[in-house]
């Protein structure tokens, strides 16, 4: 069964089309790595799947029907996470705010809701974060908490928008492993966007490369080739395999690496080490 289907879909924001006439289908239980240059439409695609952005042409189907805003079967970890730095709300209350958070009135949690939150926190190893205020958590701990939140309520589809950003290398691996284990056990479909293919290479089933208005979905061997990527990036791309890693190069420069540095501005030391490892 296809969880997500795009049939000649065109998706755009502010008059600019980020995806033109794209068609692909994602099956149940697949772990899809979503990659591509900055501004290629990774976030936009997820917002379209969430029903926040209707396609300007063509068709998008999620669980066999048009995307519905607030679909309970979708777990979402947004990329822009506006967490106030001085937010002294405890972890439990923070993620509990999303449980039936769209209903009016005074918040209340049933016993079943509380048990579900506790179980999910424990499942991702974040049980100790329930009582701690957000302002005292590290970036990795916050990310784990947000991951637990995306997994609340047993979603069948998980949209994770750059969950590895601002995490150091050890945590990146831990997060990928955790998502993999949790979703495989429950046959959950995952769209996991990232800056670098190598972060996901041993984990993903197929890769969805976005760029230049186009989308290419397939195995790493099918998609991560000079001809496919040259079209997506709109420039001559070379693909180098080394040591179980894959590097996507444009005129000798690592494009993913460059994009990541451009986005984050820090982490230079760390990535340097990673590349020469």
Partner 1 sequence: MTKVTITSIITAITMLEYDFMRNAFAAAGVAAVVSGLVGYFLVLRGQTFAGHALSHIGFAGATGAVLIGVASVWGLVGFTVAAGIGMGLLGERISGRDVAIGVVLALALGFGLLFLHYYTAFATQATALLFGNVLAVDRAMIGTLVGLGLVTLGGLAAIMRPLIFASLQPELAEAKGVPLRFVSTAFLTVVALAVSECAQIVGILLVFSLMVGPPATAQRLVTGLWSGMALSAALALAEAWLGIAIAYHTDWPVSFCIAMLSALGYFLSRGNFLPRREETI
Residues that bind partner 1 (CB under 8 A): 47, 50, 52, 69-70, 76, 78-82, 84, 87-90, 93-94, 97-98, 100-107, 131-133, 149
Q: Cβ 126 to partner 1, closest distance in Å? A: 16
Q: Cβ 196 to partner 1, closest distance in Å? A: 23
Q: Which is nearer to partner 1, 61 or 100 (by Cβ)?
A: 100
Q: Cβ 165 to partner 1, closest distance in Å? A: 14
**Number of neighbouring beta carbons within 10 Å of residue 215:** 26
Q: Which is nearer to partner 1, 111 or 241 (by Cβ)?
A: 111
At 249, give phi and psi (nearest 5°): -115, 140
Q: Cβ 220 to partner 1, closest distance in Å? A: 29
Token couple for 90: 């405890």
Q: Cβ 19 to partner 1, closest distance in Å? A: 19
Q: Which is nearer to partner 1, 47 or 195 (by Cβ)?
A: 47
What does the DSSP assignment read for 50-65?
TTSS--SEEEEEETTB
Q: Which is nearer to partner 1, 38 or 97 (by Cβ)?
A: 97
What burial class does residue 202 get, using C-beta atoms within 10 Å of its C-beta: 0-12 exposed, 13-18 middle, 19+ buried?
exposed
Q: Which is nearer to partner 1, 20 or 74 (by Cβ)?
A: 74
> Strands 57-62, 189-193: parallel, antiparallel or unpaired by DSSP?
unpaired
Angle between helices 111-123 and 139-151 (to 10 degrees): 130
Inter-residue contact 192 to 204 (CB < 8 Å): yes
């Amino acid at each position: 069964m296809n969880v997500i289907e795009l049939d000649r879909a065109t998706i755009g924001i502010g008059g600019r089309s980020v995806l033109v006439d794209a068609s692909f289908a994602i099956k149940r239980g697949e772990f899809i790595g979503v990659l591509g240059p900055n501004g290629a439409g990774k976030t936009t695609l997820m917002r379209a799947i969430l029903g926040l952005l209707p396609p300007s042409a063509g068709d998008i189907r999620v669980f066999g029907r048009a995307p519905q805003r607030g679909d309970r079967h979708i777990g979402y970890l947004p990329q822009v996470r506006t967490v106030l730095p001085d937010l002294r709300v405890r972890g439990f209350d923070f993620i509990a705010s999303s449980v039936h958070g769209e209903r009016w009135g005074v918040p209340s949690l049933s016993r079943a809701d509380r048990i579900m939150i506790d179980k999910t926190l424990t499942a991702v190893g974040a049980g100790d974060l329930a009582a701690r205020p957000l302002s005292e958590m590290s970036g990795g701990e916050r990310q784990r908490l947000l991951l637990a939140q995306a997994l609340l309520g047993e979603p069948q589809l998980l949209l994770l928008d750059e969950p590895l950003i601002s995490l150091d290398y050890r945590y990146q691996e831990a997060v990928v492993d955790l998502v993999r284990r949790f979703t495989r056990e429950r046959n959950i479909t995952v769209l996991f966007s990232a800056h670098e293919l190598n972060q996901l290479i041993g984990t993903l089933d197929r890769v969805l490369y976005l760029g230049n208005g186009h989308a290419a979905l397939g195995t790493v061997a099918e998609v991560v080739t000079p001809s496919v990527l040259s079209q997506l990036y709109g420039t001559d791309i070379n693909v180098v395999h080394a040591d179980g890693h894959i590097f996507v190069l444009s005129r000798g420069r690592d494009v993913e690496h460059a994009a990541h540095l451009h986005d984050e501005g820090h982490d230079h030391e760390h990535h340097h080490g990673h590349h020469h490892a």
